[in-house]
A and B are shown apart, each in its own frame.
Chain A
Amino acid sequence: MRFFFRSRQFKIILSVFSFLLVISLIFGIWGKKMSPHTDIAGMISAPFKTLATSISNGISDIVSSYKDNSELLVENAELTSKINDMREKTADYDKIISENESYKKYLGIKEKNLDFEFCHSILISKDHSDPYGGFTINRGSSSGISLYDPVITDAGLVGYITELGTTTSKVTTILNPELVLGALDNRTNDSGIVSGNLQLAKKNKCRFSNLSRNCSVAIGDYVVTSGEGIFPEGLLIGSIESIGSDQYNTSIYADITPFADLANIKDVMVIIHFDNQGGILPGKGDY
């Protein structure tokens, strides 16, 4: 055995390992970017992953169309679309009431959305071992995506970009406790922070916490981004499912179900530009 540790083979192994360690540390921790070898591997494997995902989605669609009546599926898709439209309208309606009551504190979501620049992306791989449902998309810095860009679906907020490659990016979802974002109750304007934890992630939920004890949030209220951090103002996050008291302080919290179906995402929009972009990422400082 001791001859092995003196052999040329072991020295090569040790050198490669050290090189790998240094490269990963430099690019991962300081650069906050994918290390070059991962980036190249991502570029090589992306077409295969896209193909595999398309095939598995296709098979899933075929299986589900056999299982369910196809007419019901069409109707379901139409109804889902209508629900999303109605959510937007209700959110706008609440917003208008809120504006009238609080001296028009901020502009409506649709007015703001005029400044958004989107990048459509397809989910190409999903880490099943990540309890928070992180995934990889088929767009990277070459498509104008930057680190910490918000990721949404037509239903609501999904998460943000946490690792950036040239042609691929990794998305951390709002279920992950690493993501802490400022949020508002759309009806009452009560502010707090939205974050996840492992127990809630199991149920596909996250927590709207740090709410004042005399706030008037109610079950069914919509929660939107406050625009204080890296996310633009007014993005739909989810609806309040339950309300409870924090056991460590006097504040209360509300558990929310995200509008975006995080378990079954196929494609997303990355907001690559919006007014006042850039800011403070909770727990990570300025960027």
Chain B
Amino acid sequence: MPQKKKKLLISVINVLLVFVVVIIQYTPLLSMKIGTATPMIALAALIAISMFCSELTASLAGMILGIFTDTSSSTSFGFNSIVFFAIAFLTSFFIHYLFNNNFRSAIALGIILSALYFIVRWLFFFSFGHSINDSFTYLFQYALPSIIYTTVITLIFYLFEKLLFKKIIK
């Protein structure tokens, strides 16, 4: 199979993956919640996909995934489209210039970028307009477990993406 077709096939699989992920993330009875930890599976999939893309492709994928996430998320003002765009860019940028593309990098990026997402979310939607008690309750009891949970899901997606590239490209 020519290289172009292989890349197209990977793109199609990733688009389908993202579509399924957004549906799973927001379907009312398909909650993956464990206690107060709720994984941001759309973010996990995005980090994993961005590790294998160029900065521009990753950023655009982040934007599109963010826009679709915004249609269902309780966050307002197109928050996810902006943050996902930035996270996808940072993932791809870090992989190209700072990290090697391996499992340990996936763990590091999963933690750093999930933390970035949940902290920005906390700053915009929970640190102001809520009581100090509620604000810190969200940060430590909801955001922190969710960061760990999202990182775990990121690793699963990373392994899937790695397998996908191994099977199709190589």
Given the interface pairs A21-B82, A56-B28, A56-B30, the reply to whether A16 lies near B77 with Cβ below 8 Å is: no
Produce 1/0 per residue, A227-258, CB < 8 A to B.
00000000000000000000000000000000
Chain A residues in 8 Å Cβ range of B32: 128
Given the interface pairs A1-B97, A20-B85, A128-B33, the reply to whether A170 lies near B78 with Cβ below 8 Å is: no
Which parts of B73-89 form the interface with A (CB within 8 Å)? 73-79, 81-82, 85-86, 89
Chain A residues in 8 Å Cβ range of B59: 13, 16-17
Tell me the nearest residue of chain A to B20, going by C-beta: A52
Asked whether A45 is an interface residue with its Cβ less than 8 Å from the other chain, the reply is: yes
From A34, A53, A162, A199, give the contact of B28 (CB < 8 A). A53
Contact between chains at A56 and B27 (CB < 8 Å): yes
Interface of chain B, main secondary structure: helix
Q: A residues bordering B, Cβ < 8 Å?
A: 1, 4, 9-10, 12-13, 16-17, 20-21, 23-25, 27-29, 34-35, 37-38, 41-42, 45-46, 48-49, 52-53, 56-57, 59-60, 123-132, 134-136, 162-163, 165, 168, 170, 172, 177-178, 197-199, 202, 266
Contact between chains at B72 and A125 (CB < 8 Å): yes
Question: Can you identify 11 A-B contacts, CB atoms within 8 angstroms?
Answer: A16-B59, A17-B85, A20-B81, A45-B72, A48-B19, A128-B25, A128-B31, A129-B146, A131-B138, A135-B28, A198-B138
Query: What CA separation (Å) do A123 and B28 show in the bound complex?
Result: 8
Given the interface pairs A17-B85, A28-B76, the reply to whether A42 lies near B71 with Cβ below 8 Å is: yes
Contact between chains at A38 and B71 (CB < 8 Å): yes
Contact between chains at B81 and A24 (CB < 8 Å): yes
Besides A41-B68, A128-B31, 14 more A-B contacts (Cβ < 8 Å) are: A20-B82, A24-B78, A28-B76, A49-B23, A125-B27, A128-B26, A130-B73, A136-B26, A136-B71, A136-B72, A170-B76, A172-B74, A198-B138, A202-B36
From B56, B74, B96, give the contact of A132 (CB < 8 A). B74
From B29, B70, B74, give the contact of A130 (CB < 8 A). B74
Query: What CA separation (Å) do A125 and B68 show in the bound complex?
Result: 12
Asked whether B55 is an interface residue with its Cβ less than 8 Å from the other chain, the reply is: yes
Contact between chains at B27 and A177 (CB < 8 Å): no
Which parts of B119-153 form the interface with A (CB within 8 Å)? 129-131, 133-134, 137-138, 142, 146
Contact between chains at B71 and A168 (CB < 8 Å): yes
Asked whether B63 is an interface residue with its Cβ less than 8 Å from the other chain, the reply is: yes
Chain A residues in 8 Å Cβ range of B115: none
Contact between chains at A199 and B134 (CB < 8 Å): yes
The 7 A-B residue pairs with the shortest CB-CB distance in the complex, in nearest-first order: A28-B77, A24-B78, A134-B74, A125-B26, A130-B74, A125-B72, A42-B71
Chain A residues in 8 Å Cβ range of B130: 177, 197-198
Query: What CA separation (Å) do A1 and B134 show in the bound complex?
Result: 42
Chain B residues in 8 Å Cβ range of A163: 76
Contact between chains at A178 and B129 (CB < 8 Å): yes
Write the nearest CB–CB distance from A127 to chain B, whole angstroms: 4
From A20, A131, A202, give the contact of B78 (CB < 8 A). A20
Which parts of B95-130 form the interface with A (CB within 8 Å)? 96-97, 129-130
Chain B residues in 8 Å Cβ range of A126: 26-28, 31, 72
Query: What CA separation (Å) do A12 and B40 show in the bound complex?
Result: 27
Query: What CA separation (Å) do A48 and B86 show in the bound complex?
Result: 27
Contact between chains at A13 and B55 (CB < 8 Å): yes
Query: What CA separation (Å) do A28 and B76 show in the bound complex?
Result: 7
Asked whether B10 is an interface residue with its Cβ less than 8 Å from the other chain, the reply is: no
Contact between chains at B74 and A52 (CB < 8 Å): no
Chain B residues in 8 Å Cβ range of A41: 67-68, 70-71
